[in-house]
Amino acid sequence: MTVKEMSEKLSLKVICMPDGDREVSGGYAGDLLSWVMGRAKSGDAWVTIMSNLNIIAVASLADPSCIILSEGVALDEAVRARAESQGVNVLSSELDTFALCAKIAKEI
């Protein structure tokens, strides 16, 4: 399933999607950035409530297929612009992290 297909299937809000054809190969949930960099796999959908600029660097380096902000967390325009320029897909959902991960797990 691609990031675009997942966003449609799970009714996720698209914050920016410069690479919607990227394949989602798994999932990872976490807010401690070094933990995410150490454990998340390339291609994972990364679910987090963190929204500062550093998440874009982490995503750019650890190479998840997308970031999904749970709990209705919003993204500043400067962070969104950085994500777009770095080719990082960012989606969001009103669901809490547990509920969101449960839905993702059913689809992948």
Partner 1 sequence: MGNCVNFHFDIDGDNFTSAGEASVRIKKSLREMGFTPDVIRRVSVAMYEGEINMVIHANGGTADVNVYVDKIEIILADNGPGISNIELAMQEGYSTAPDNIRSLGFGAGMGLPNMKNYTDDMKIESEVGKGTTVFMTVNV
> Interface with partner 1 by CB under 8 A: which residues?
31-35, 37-38, 42, 50, 52-55, 57-58, 60-63, 86
The span from the CA of 105 to the CA of 85, in Å, is: 29
Cβ closest to partner 1, residue 11 vs residue 42: 42
Least distance CB 26 / partner 1 (angstroms): 15
Q: Are 89 and 82 in contact (CB under 8 A)?
A: no
Cβ closest to partner 1, residue 10 vs residue 86: 86
Cβ closest to partner 1, residue 7 vs residue 59: 59
List the beta bridge partners of residue 52: none
Q: Are 1 and 9 in contact (CB under 8 A)?
A: yes
